[in-house]
Structure 1
Amino acid sequence: MKHSLHDSPEPAKAAPVPLRKQRDYRLLWTARTISVTGSEVSKLAIPLTAVALLAASPAQMGMLTAAASVPALLFGLQSGAIADRLTRHRPLMIACELVSCAAAVTVPLAWLLGVLNVTWLIIVALVIGTAGVLFRAANFPHVASITGPEQRTEAMAGLQTTYSVASVAGPSLGGLLVQLLTAPLAVLAEALSFLASALLLRAIRTPERNTPAVSKGMWRDILEGLKVNITHPVLRALLFAGVTINFFAMAYTAVYMLYMVNTLNIPKGLIGVLIAFSGAGGLLGAWLTARLSKRYGENRILLVVVLFFPLEILTVGLISGPLWWKFGVLALTGTAVGVIVVSFATCMNAIVLQETDPQLRGRVNATMTFAIQGVLSLGGLVGGFLAEIIGLRPVIIVCAGGIALATFWIWFSPIRPGHRRPTRPITPSPPPSTEPFITTKRHSAP
């Protein structure tokens, strides 16, 4: 049988080099893992500094907790627009890490000089939080510049695992450093992690060739992203579920350290170990979700895991007994909630990606980040001040009930099988031709 020229098979494409063998991706992954691990150390060391050395009140702890997330409210939406207008993202990422390093270094220095106070810690948290908002906005498009289109999903998944790795290593390391060096000096580990991250990012060689996005203007773009999140039924359900979870999770976090140390009498070193169990659960959750989603789909997994969000908070609020019993139960529930949080976040991101038009994904993501992460500051303030009025244990019980409300947003939405209306991604409205071009993106859901 004769074959014409058109019948000849196309040459097979060479398989892409695995990400683990790509130098620049390894540098980026390592930089993020080190940086996030240092931040996890700080999440333990800074609150312990405030509680143990500075005798912080519940209200002050609420303000300190809120300070880390206030920048998401102030700059979350604008950071996405800024990132979209950059031709090179890595210089901004390096600058953010260096600023965070400088801010973290001031904590042990101020303590050694005898001038450290809670206000100082709040300012440091604000500076590092602002740098983090800008970093995350630039990091997302930067991944696309060092990986091919066929590997970007795998690359983003790999970077997401850094948070689980850091959650396992960071708290344990933090507890050890607090015991050996005292809490303020343990913050030095965070500063060194930011510096190491900046040096690793500087070593990346892949050139960036980003074309700044054409826009109708920063604020009009922001408003369009907000409109899509509110009017699209699936995105709206995910948005408000995330806001509900993060508000009550941060209210709980604001009083968590005080309650564990002063009410449950958990040793400070063991608190870090308990947090590490949650990180281990996150690794397990990532593994399970990747496999179960192929069989059951992200929607069904989301409907199940949202039911168990109050598990650990309710356990913390009700548990009593000897130390071995409290530690064992809290380790078990912490591991379970680690699975739940990562499963929820993974499925949520997959559904958002599916439901959103590619031209709107940046703005939809920025709006969700702004709302879901920005509400953390309000939750922290409410949790701290409410504890002054009704006490620590009642606040924890309230938070368990409040976080359960997220179930209603998910179950009474098109996400639920049998209730899902056929939807298609909402497309952006075309810009008017007269518009000028402006050159100027633990329990909590990510």
Structure 2
Amino acid sequence: MTEPLVLAEPAPPGRPRVPRLLQQTVPRLLQQTAFRRYWSAQTVSLFGDQITMLAVPLLALLAVGAGPAEMGYLTAAALLPNLFFSLPAGAWVDRQPRRRRVMIVTDLGRAGLLLAVPLLWWADVLNLPLLCAMVFLIGILSVYFEVAHSSLFAALVQRPDYVDANSLINGSRALSHLAGPSVGGVLVQVLTAPVALFSGVLTYLTSAVFLARTRVTERPAPGGSGLGMAAGVRYVARSAILRATLLGTTTLNLFNYMFAALFVLYVTTELGVSPGVLGVIIGAGAFGGLLGAAVTAAISRRIGIGPAVLLGFVVFPAPLLLVPLAVGPQPLVLALLFAAEFVSALGVMILDIATGSVQIAATPVAMLAVVAGFRRTVNYGIRPIGALVGGTLGAAIGVRPTLWIASLGALLGVFWIVFSPLRAMRTLPEETSR
């Protein structure tokens, strides 16, 4: 059990009272030089991702003359590596004795590829196929970076600190979603899209420097050989905890991407919300995410890690019911949309932090990357299917009824957790070798 966030230790006269949560978690982690550098690398890399995600499409639109179909090709080129490379990348990373080195190399590779884009533009040879190829290669390197992350995380962070460490990392993620697009937009506006990409190059280089200065003893796979893709899939299938979280998140992602495919269309055309106001509403989600990152550690200690996972599976999708429910005067509609975005983003942080901590704890060290790759393959693979189903169903029965189906269907993910050992799990699962 943990104390409320407002509770503070008695402070000597003349010194400010510091919340006990901060005293117990943040200093212990951030005072560790290795973790602080690792967390800094993650934070800078996340901001680089957000800036790049905005600057590259704008470059395609403004400098290459891409139309709707071409923008679709560019988006697909960025996403396909997650589907096709995550599992083999995980199996390969698990065989490497130095996962940190993998992350450094991929950071440098992404910086080099991203740097080539404005150089090709200045040389007047950049075209859409070449831009798609660059984005595809950057996506492959990002997959290797992400699957290596779990192994390095487990080498740096002690098991009791998993939730707190994930809270810090996901807090950086929420902050990058809040500030990254704004910074990227300003850079594109002031410097033009090709020049703005240099900021993305600098973030990847900075991340590589932080990782290079991170000193950590990594635990190699037994015999240095890893256990392979099939072994990773079998382990997830046999583990009641990993199986439940994977099936739960896959169910949630299927319906959530049905919802996401129609959300902007519904809000702008049927509810009459202007793009500017919609941007403010979506921005509310980032603030909800920051709040979720701040409170998840306290929640998981108070109610238990398993119930916190279950809570995330409810608090993430449940507020989305307010969107098809939003009818009536415009102020009421806007209030419901704001609440839906804010509370849902808070819920997704609870879900990501608690579930991510459980998944790392429940996975043998020798299989962390391949299991992460398998999860990534399934979760990224289900997203376009959900979007396709949402669009098709919206055209067949209408947008609002489809949103009702999607928001209610997303709640079905929680049943995989209810009927699993997670429901009553108070602490992280014990470490296992196989």
- TM-score range normalised by the length of the shorter chain: 0.7 to 0.9
**Partner of residue 432, structure 1:** none
**Partner of residue 434, structure 1:** none
Change beyond 3 A, Cα 1:229–1:175: same
CA distance in 1 between counterparts of 2:155 and 2:282 reads 34
Q: 1:114-138 CA deviation, whole Å, 9 max, x = no partner?
A: 9654x56654442232111111233
| Secondary structure in 2 matching 1:405 | helix
Change beyond 3 A, Cα 1:205–1:61: closer
**Partner of residue 174, structure 2:** 164
CA distance in 2 between counterparts of 1:194 and 1:260 reads 36
Change beyond 3 A, Cα 1:201–1:353: closer
**Partner of residue 85, structure 1:** 95
**Partner of residue 111, structure 2:** 101
Equivalences for residues 318-329 of structure 1 within 5 A: 319=326, 327-329=334-336
Cα offset for 1:34?
1.8
Task: Choose from 399, 404, 425 the match for 2:406.
Answer: 399
Cα offset for 1:184?
6.9
CA distance in 1 between counterparts of 2:367 and 2:126 reads 48
Change beyond 3 A, Cα 1:256–1:34: farther
1:190 aligns with 2:197: no
| Secondary structure in 2 matching 1:293 | helix
Task: Choose from 290, 303, 306 the match for 1:283.
Answer: 290
**Partner of residue 45, structure 2:** 35
Q: 1:260-307 CA deviation, whole Å, 9 max, x = no partner?
A: 666666555555544432222122112322122222212323333323
Contact map agreement 1:62 1:381 (CA 8 A) in 2: no
Contact map agreement 1:77 1:370 (CA 8 A) in 2: yes
Task: Choose from 62, 68, 71 the match for 1:56.
Answer: 68
1:368 aligns with 2:375: yes
Letter in 2 for 1:197: S
Task: Choose from 334, 341, 344 the match for 2:341.
Answer: 334
**Partner of residue 351, structure 1:** 358
Cα offset for 1:244?
1.6
1:72 aligns with 2:82: yes
**More deviation in 169-178 or 355-364?**
355-364
**Partner of residue 11, structure 1:** none
Contact map agreement 2:159 2:361 (CA 8 A) in 1: no
Task: Choose from 237, 240, 250 the match for 2:244.
Answer: 237
Change beyond 3 A, Cα 1:65–1:403: farther
Contact map agreement 1:51 1:258 (CA 8 A) in 2: no
Letter in 2 for 1:243: T
CA distance in 1 between counterparts of 2:267 and 2:175 reads 24
Cα offset for 1:35?
1.7
Contact map agreement 1:66 1:381 (CA 8 A) in 2: no
Letter in 1 for 2:237: I
Contact map agreement 2:258 2:406 (CA 8 A) in 1: yes
Contact map agreement 2:97 2:219 (CA 8 A) in 1: yes
Task: Choose from 209, 214, 220 the match for 2:222.
Answer: 214
Letter in 1 for 2:221: A
TM-score by length of 1: 0.72
Equivalences for residues 3-14 of structure 1 within 5 A: none
Cα offset for 1:226?
1.5
CA distance in 2 between counterparts of 1:330 and 1:138 reads 37
Change beyond 3 A, Cα 1:201–1:308: closer
Cα offset for 1:343?
0.8
1:25 aligns with 2:18: no
Cα offset for 1:241?
0.9
CA distance in 1 between counterparts of 2:271 and 2:204 reads 34
CA distance in 2 between counterparts of 1:48 and 1:327 reads 29
**More deviation in 123-132 or 48-57?**
48-57
Letter in 1 for 2:179: A
Change beyond 3 A, Cα 1:26–1:354: closer
Task: Choose from 228, 232, 237 the match for 1:225.
Answer: 232
| Secondary structure in 1 matching 2:311 | helix
Contact map agreement 2:312 2:349 (CA 8 A) in 1: no
**Partner of residue 139, structure 2:** 129
Cα offset for 1:334?
1.4
- Counting matched residue pairs gives 402
CA distance in 2 between counterparts of 1:144 and 1:241 reads 23
Change beyond 3 A, Cα 1:303–1:19: closer
Change beyond 3 A, Cα 1:90–1:428: closer
User: Relative to total residues, which structure has the larger helix share, 1 or 2?
Assistant: 2
Equivalences for residues 194-205 of structure 1 within 5 A: 194-202=204-212, 204=213
CA distance in 2 between counterparts of 1:120 and 1:388 reads 34
Cα offset for 1:47?
5.7
| Secondary structure in 1 matching 2:358 | helix
TM-score by length of 2: 0.73
Q: CA RMSD in A?
A: 4.2
| Secondary structure in 2 matching 1:334 | helix
Change beyond 3 A, Cα 1:148–1:407: closer
**Partner of residue 4, structure 1:** none
Task: Choose from 309, 314, 323 the match for 2:316.
Answer: 309
Cα offset for 1:178?
5.6
Contact map agreement 1:63 1:381 (CA 8 A) in 2: no
Cα offset for 1:65?
4.5
Contact map agreement 1:104 1:187 (CA 8 A) in 2: yes
Letter in 1 for 2:307: R
Q: Is there any run of 5+ residues in structure 1 with no aligned partner, and where?
A: 1-16, 430-446
